[in-house]
Structure 1
């Protein structure tokens, strides 16, 4: 018999888990189908393992540079196996939160297997048929290898396989200078690898403010990372001991391991989307509208499989939009104001428009305010006096974008996201009282500088001087 559900969720990563839990908690009959491990990339190969590795690498770096805060520097006794043990313990600690047992306690039926749409309103898992009133596809994405001759024959790592390493590579080549490549490249360098990052674009983090990429490149170089921007890998020559990368600039690069961080592709193969009536774009991403509806009636998609911003918090946000739309025909839409963070040192946090994007809309009427963390008291006291806060406002002073390339940038971007979402102004940020001394004051000092530039003008001073003279005369 075909059992009918209010909602069927395909994929047990962040978007699928949140979707299933929300639906179950409002009383819907929910099934979640996952062919692998619940928790998705975030738990097993993405956010949690990478941030655990970054924490170890950061402490090693701070130990070497303890003299920044008046302590004797020391070279940490690093053992890569022990570091990877820490990574595995973090995953094991968090895994029960995403387990089938927890989901079933919440009222979600968990089904293991490959899901395939047979027709609208019907889905197969092996020989089992499931009927549904609504469905959410949350199958995520997977790393892809660029078409480089010889690459697949070399010792290639991706974010899926990196965590199987048992020994630290002596020489690591990182293909891709985006967020993943920069984060992991810096981490491995701090743990003792000789790292080279190769990026085709003319700068690191090519989708961020140019100054952020330049700051990060300088920081990496100061830590011994070799950064090759404007460079393509034309071929890889595999060998038993090490591989050689042939670069477009004419150079050759020897590497004991190659980490490919050049992009990901949506996981849609085998889903039977044609039978359901859903469509994909040229990248293979499921086409959705702002309500996350696919072209198939009653079927929604969330997270990386949509080809939209590939972040765990975006997938969770998508779930909160899609579930009420799917179950109750609500009209919720995806927020246009979404922050993201590259967890390098310094962190690079972004929300809204860059300066160039804002100028394309408003021209030279755009207001730009910035502050250097070299002048921020808490950054100086912490031995981290580097980075900047850059705020972008429209001609009326409303905040429309922000980039923080600084320590703890990811912790400060939330306030700016809320301000943009609520059409707040630079003046609102300046007037809000912040605790002192904190790193979150960086954006505030930038807003203060904008107000100072607008009001500390000769005309304002003349008007103030006249008012003060008038007050003195009244006292006489």
Structure 2
């Protein structure tokens, strides 16, 4: 059995693992990465962020084709199957794998494809590699194993019509009707994708409103537009049983409702991937969701072991995971560039998409902060009219007295891009992070960015009328 010594061993090659590995090797450390799949990229590339967003993009193009009168000169509205749309996502995934493989090769990071298990707090045994079993010893270990869908034992996920958010990528037909259980970010995104393909969707929400962490007005807008695509949203519901047969799936709810559909998609909860690591040998104990606790430097209770990404829970975003990995590596090499990742914009890739950062109206109201609102509706902006994407708005929340920007909420096409303009201004210090910046800055015309100027002027006008 071969034994290799490293400065850092990273378990997992998703965004968190990649961020940790690349930052550590740039600081002169000898680094190894262990990945259980056959190629690098982690669940982000193969099962989560990349495939779902590539799917969404294709569906968005289909919707535009089928609803834009200009395309009627080309032909009648077309129907596209889920497997056909998925093929484009697979091409994007392949490109991402190639790109990331080159990252590791170029930076001389050793990658082991196999299953990692702790032998002791500083030793990892990798089984299933091309060389059999190999042992990696390291001064520091970074656990970046990600998460997977939580699958309750009383639902038969081996049934060919019952899926979770990972296995849905193996769907080889297009159902006419679909039940999605769980209306969080993943459930809402897949709801948009399938309804965009013309599938009749029942979206089961265990909460009283969609994505309750969002600003209420944004949440309401999403609900409206999902219903506008014939989605049936059912709030405050819990399942009693899920029964699959040869013709479809029956969902029995505790409220007494019974719903039948061609297929069922479970999107309710995630579990940290720690159960196959022999984690006890490291001295760590995961919580009931398989997640590891960390401090403000991403260290676990074992001083030389770090944990980053979905395996530590919130915010469970690829963007945050990459930065967490980089920060963990910065701490272990004692770099002054370390920062704790706590200002993360929300990016939800529904159709239309949603992005926000900072406080919501509900939070500011509870905290008794004197705030005002400035809004710009995309239907009134020239760029949105030109692009044929008039749905949505930009909403700025700011302090009524200091004019400091307190929250930015965007719903509509390119929302996840638009929010970063405001995020950059929010991060400035002193008087530079006020709403006046947008009034005193000349934006290109026509652009979506000019919505900031429109919203800022509208907000200041509300103050002047008091």
State the TM-score, normalized to the length of structure 1. Answer: 0.89
In structure 1, C-alpha distance between the alignment counterparts of 2:213 and 2:465, rounded to whole Å: 35
From 234, 247, 252, the counterpart of 1:228: 234
Aligned to 1:116: 117
Aligned positions of 1:335-354 closer than 5 A: 335-354=341-360
Secondary structure of the 2:268 match is coil
Secondary structure of the 2:333 match is helix
Aligned to 1:373: 378
Any conservation in 1 of the 2:10–2:34 contact (CA below 8 Å)?
Answer: yes
Aligned to 2:130: none
Secondary structure of the 2:21 match is helix
From 178, 182, 205, the counterpart of 2:211: 205
Question: Which ranges in structure 2 are unaligned for 5 or more consecutive residues?
Answer: 128-132
In structure 1, C-alpha distance between the alignment counterparts of 2:354 and 2:63, rounded to whole Å: 18
In structure 2, C-alpha distance between the alignment counterparts of 1:98 and 1:156, rounded to whole Å: 32
What is the Cα deviation at residue 146 of structure 1?
4.3
Q: Would the alpha carbon gap of residues 162 and 133 (structure 1) be closer, same or farther in structure 2, given more than 3 Å must change?
A: same
More helix by share: 1
In structure 1, C-alpha distance between the alignment counterparts of 2:87 and 2:283, rounded to whole Å: 45
Aligned positions of 1:56-75 closer than 5 A: 56-67=58-69, 74-75=76-77
From 63, 68, 87, the counterpart of 2:89: 87
In structure 2, C-alpha distance between the alignment counterparts of 1:42 and 1:150, rounded to whole Å: 25
What is the Cα deviation at residue 55 of structure 1?
1.6
Any conservation in 1 of the 2:299–2:306 contact (CA below 8 Å)?
Answer: yes
| Cα deviation 1:291-327 (Å, max 9, x = unaligned) | 1111111211111011121111111111221111112
Aligned positions of 1:398-437 closer than 5 A: 398-423=404-429, 424-437=433-446
In structure 1, C-alpha distance between the alignment counterparts of 2:258 and 2:200, rounded to whole Å: 15
What is the Cα deviation at residue 24 of structure 1?
2.0
Aligned positions of 1:53-452 closer than 5 A: 53-67=55-69, 74-99=76-101, 102-126=103-127, 127-146=133-152, 155-328=161-334, 330=336, 332-361=338-367, 363-394=368-399, 396-423=402-429, 424-452=433-461
Q: Would the alpha carbon gap of residues 278 and 408 (structure 1) be closer, same or farther in structure 2, given more than 3 Å must change?
A: same
Any conservation in 2 of the 1:134–1:327 contact (CA below 8 Å)?
Answer: no
In structure 1, C-alpha distance between the alignment counterparts of 2:369 and 2:315, rounded to whole Å: 29
In structure 1, C-alpha distance between the alignment counterparts of 2:358 and 2:233, rounded to whole Å: 28
Secondary structure of the 1:305 match is helix
Question: Which ranges in structure 1 are unaligned for 5 or more consecutive residues?
Answer: 458-476
What is the Cα deviation at residue 151 of structure 1?
6.9
Structure showing greater radius of gyration is: 1
In structure 1, C-alpha distance between the alignment counterparts of 2:154 and 2:361, rounded to whole Å: 35
Any conservation in 2 of the 1:24–1:30 contact (CA below 8 Å)?
Answer: yes
Aligned to 2:22: 21
Secondary structure of the 1:61 match is helix
Any conservation in 2 of the 1:151–1:235 contact (CA below 8 Å)?
Answer: no
The reply to whether residue 453 of structure 1 matches residue 462 of structure 2 is yes
Alignment RMSD (CA, Å): 2.4
Any conservation in 1 of the 2:157–2:164 contact (CA below 8 Å)?
Answer: no
State the TM-score, normalized to the length of structure 2. Answer: 0.91
Secondary structure of the 1:328 match is coil
What is the Cα deviation at residue 418 of structure 1?
1.7
